[in-house]
Structure 1
Amino acid sequence: MANDTRIWTDVDFDRDGKQISCLRLPFSSDRSAYGTIPIPIVCIRNGKGPTALLVAGNHGDEYEGQVALGKLARQLDARELCGRIIILPALNYPAVDAGRRLSPLDQGNLNRMFPGDANGSSTEMIAHYVSKVLLPLADIVIDLHSGGTSLFYLPCCLIRTGKTETETAQLIELMAVFGAPIGSVSDGSGGGGATTLSATAQVLGIPALTTELGGGAAMSSKGEALARDGVLRVLKHMGILPDAIVRPAEPTRSMRVDGRQAFTYAPVRGVFEPAVELGDEVHAGDLAGIIHPIAGPSEPITAIRFEQSGLVACQRAPALTEPGDCLFKLVVDMPLPPSPSR
């Protein structure tokens, strides 16, 4: 299965026990003609059972998931499992090492490059290995994200609508088990579309949960705790960690992005002064904020207004803003289909 990928590892995914190693990403440079970049990986297995693929560091400047999975990888013992857990706490390791959203090797945005290319750029090779080697092993994927350098996010768990109503209901149930305060359901038309890890998992019929846990290139302790507790709840729910002691999930408010007008963009360059905060309920026409021209009082200020009503789910972090920068994203409540377990 792995013969058509250029990344390799000494991990035996079918071996019981706990293996801590790396994926070897080939990278030839002036200082290392036959060099490789090690991407941390942990495989923990105990007999037959479901497999969970746990990912963080898809974007390098999103830290809560990286810390949560690092803790989990250190703490778990194979004897606690019924099945297998594969942990990648720093999937796009070059970006993680640089503290950037994009890889410094090729400026690649990993979560816009799935399913990847075995003979493409470094970032495309990572996406290809995940798509062709790791995803086929998985029964569930949890991809932990945060707002990174440019955004602040309300803690939330995200899913894509399934191919059938039953599949969507199962994903909504898993989202509730994870237990984020906000559950966001997407039709896949925004963000990276078909080029994300979750979209590729969906094509393969693998349930996928994504998160947003904080932002501003900071490390939120609350976001990290949600990542850790949410992952443990899902692993227990699936029978992979049957005896795990977990905190009960808080109720999840299921919401969705209601079209392109849910996003508010900057029309001009300047210093953005927001008029609302994360978690605020706003209405169409409300003042979103003001952009102050950096040229000073000789230029007019620009007032920005929301085009629709909703809950402020994310907000731009840096004050200095360019035309086209996303300032806010809104979500609205959605009705839920009946749970498949009822």
Structure 2
Amino acid sequence: MGKPDARTRLNVVNDHQPARDFNLAERLAQTPILTPLDYDRDGKQDGFLRLYYSGETNGYGYVPIPVICISNGEGPTALLFGGNHGNEYEGIVGLMSLARELEVSDVRGRVIIMPSLNYPAVMAGTRASPLDGANLNRSFPGSPSGSPTQVLAHYVSTVLVPLADLVIDLHAGGRSAHFVPCSIVQEARDPHEAAGLAQVAEWFGAPVSFVSVGKGRGGSLTLAGECMRQGVICLTAELGGGETMSPQGLALARDGVTRVLNRIGILPFCDVPAATATRWVRKGPENRLHAHVAGIFEPRVSLGDTVAAGQLAGLIHFHDLPMAQPDEVRFEVSGAVLSLHIPALVGRGDELCTVVSDVG
């Protein structure tokens, strides 16, 4: 892969970069999280952020959140996150592997890697933090005086995101769903930003990509929404699901991230496979198919299938009424199946699958 010229890199990433006049020392003083690393120092550092938390069995201890910073001179800064939800594993493993392999001499600029961002949830194997039951990816911009999850979200929002030119947040379907590996970008504010977001997704090279349209920049809530509120390019990816380890998703976590870092000039000399063309699709609220009754869901389609409006998506069987006919669930729109619910037992309102349609 050839090294892109500086004009290409800067046009895509830096035109909406955050202001660089903020005082890092002041931001660090405003968070209760202790940072043992010096983000401004060249070299390869690894350690643990200290999120102090008074629990039942550890009244005066802290939660250790792994962080790796690799810096070498001038250049862009990338933040790489896995484990935003604790039971989504491809990003966690892919970023740990990348952190071990990268050397200072490989880097131009700075890479900050947090493979297990929501460390309490990762250790518990849960989507939300066991400390407070909160979903980190619905907690931004957070609060320095809130619950542990809110404190962590505040640290990311006020200390880390302002350092960044680019953020990559790696997810999967967790316990609830399987996904066709895909990348997601937020709705842009102008055509130039839209082109930059699309370019990063194409470099990442997921089989499917789409623009997330909805809440984000105003109240933030998600990490991607907070990044866009601050004017920082963010790519989110869904890489598998079922609390398993998808080989395809893991390879995409490694290769996709490395490709993007190469193209923006942070890893200018790395050798990674060329990206395959991504399929741009659209997804809105109307593309989500939900259960309107509770029961046992029997899908009649598979991931990636092409489906038509009115086609049978599956049956919901009433396990408490064995002689009752199952409820038929039919697709409301045509397209391709992007995700499927995993647990067979569903409740009213559960999302059963998502259907996407091609852009254009």
Question: Scaled by the length of structure 2, what TM-score is found?
Answer: 0.91
Rounded Cα–Cα distance in structure 2 between residues aligned with 1:60 and 1:214 = 14
Deviation string 1:137-174 (CA, Å, 9 cap, x unpaired) is 00000000001110000000110121101100110011
4+ residue runs of structure 1 moved beyond 3 angstroms?
none
Deviation string 1:96-152 (CA, Å, 9 cap, x unpaired) is 000000111111100000011111011111100000000000000000000111000
- CA-CA distance at 1:300 after TM superposition: 2.7
2:175 to 140, 149, 158: 149
2:318 to 265, 279, 293: 293
Match of 1:61 in 2: 87
- Matched to 1:17, the amino acid is G
Rounded Cα–Cα distance in structure 2 between residues aligned with 1:189 and 1:319 = 30
- CA-CA distance at 1:297 after TM superposition: 2.2
1:105 aligns with 2:164: no
Give 1:1-342 correspondences, 5 Å limit: 1-189=27-215, 194-257=220-283, 259-335=284-360
Give the secondary-structure state (helix, strand or coil) at the position aligned to 2:266: coil
Give the secondary-structure state (helix, strand or coil) at the position aligned to 2:338: strand
Rounded Cα–Cα distance in structure 1 between residues aligned with 2:57 and 2:87 = 26
- Matched to 2:341, the amino acid is R
Match of 2:17 in 1: none
Rounded Cα–Cα distance in structure 1 between residues aligned with 2:43 and 2:51 = 24
- Matched to 2:230, the amino acid is L
Rounded Cα–Cα distance in structure 2 between residues aligned with 1:148 and 1:307 = 25
Aligned 8 A contact 1:114 1:124 in 2: yes
Rounded Cα–Cα distance in structure 1 between residues aligned with 2:220 and 2:305 = 30
Gaps in structure 2 of 5+ consecutive residues: 1-26
Match of 1:340 in 2: none
Rounded Cα–Cα distance in structure 1 between residues aligned with 2:133 and 2:312 = 35
- CA-CA distance at 1:79 after TM superposition: 1.0
Rounded Cα–Cα distance in structure 1 between residues aligned with 2:158 and 2:309 = 44
- Matched to 1:134, the amino acid is L
231-240 vs 277-286, which deviates more? 277-286
Aligned 8 A contact 1:188 1:194 in 2: no
- Matched to 1:230, the amino acid is G
Aligned 8 A contact 1:118 1:125 in 2: yes
The number of aligned residues is 333
- CA-CA distance at 1:298 after TM superposition: 2.6
- CA-CA distance at 1:189 after TM superposition: 4.3
- CA-CA distance at 1:269 after TM superposition: 1.4
Match of 2:16 in 1: none
Give the secondary-structure state (helix, strand or coil) at the position aligned to 1:234: helix
Gaps in structure 1 of 5+ consecutive residues: 336-342
Aligned 8 A contact 2:220 2:229 in 1: no
109-118 vs 192-201, which deviates more? 192-201
Rounded Cα–Cα distance in structure 2 between residues aligned with 1:193 and 1:332 = 28
Give the secondary-structure state (helix, strand or coil) at the position aligned to 1:177: helix
Give the secondary-structure state (helix, strand or coil) at the position aligned to 2:178: strand
Aligned 8 A contact 2:169 2:236 in 1: yes
Aligned 8 A contact 2:174 2:242 in 1: yes
Rounded Cα–Cα distance in structure 1 between residues aligned with 2:247 and 2:53 = 35
- CA-CA distance at 1:292 after TM superposition: 0.7
Give the secondary-structure state (helix, strand or coil) at the position aligned to 1:9: coil
Rounded Cα–Cα distance in structure 2 between residues aligned with 1:301 and 1:3 = 59
- Matched to 1:267, the amino acid is H
> RMSD of aligned C-alpha atoms?
1.3
Match of 2:23 in 1: none
Aligned 8 A contact 2:300 2:312 in 1: yes
Rounded Cα–Cα distance in structure 2 between residues aligned with 1:29 and 1:146 = 29
Give the secondary-structure state (helix, strand or coil) at the position aligned to 1:10: coil
Deviation string 1:179-224 (CA, Å, 9 cap, x unpaired) is 001011122349x983100110001111000000000110111100
Match of 1:338 in 2: none
